[in-house]
Amino acid sequence: GQSLEQPSEVTAVEGAIVQINCTYQTSGFYGLSWYQQHDGGAPTFLSYNALDGLEETGRFSSFLSRSDSYGYLLLQELQMKDSASYFCAVDNFNKFYFGSGTKLNVKP
């Protein structure tokens, strides 16, 4: 089986930096992925890490440590539009398993 743990809610101010952590246990592992979901909408892809290290895409970065079964999503220069839920997901050989999500509240 698999389990993923993320904080349920995080609050930060506009312009700040926030890190959302994800720890996982899984029977098989290809990579760790991150998705953003606004209220009422479908999840959208942010990043995928197959190898250890940090990957940067604009204001968002994602990190993976396979030995620690740990990853995080780093959001910089927060904007109000970043208020959403963020999900980590493990890629387990043709199947994606999602965490319960972290609700990010960005305040002015």
The binding site for another protein (CB under 8 A) comprises: 4, 30-31, 33, 35, 41-45, 48, 50, 87, 89, 91, 94-101
Q: Least distance in Å: CB of 15 to another protein?
A: 27
Closer residue to another protein, CB minimum distance, 40 or 108: 40
Q: In what order do the strands lie in the sheet with 18-25?
A: 3-5, 18-25, 70-75, 60-65, 53-57
The answer to whether the Cα torsion of 21, 44, 79, 59 is positive or negative is: positive
Q: Least distance in Å: CB of 100 to another protein?
A: 4
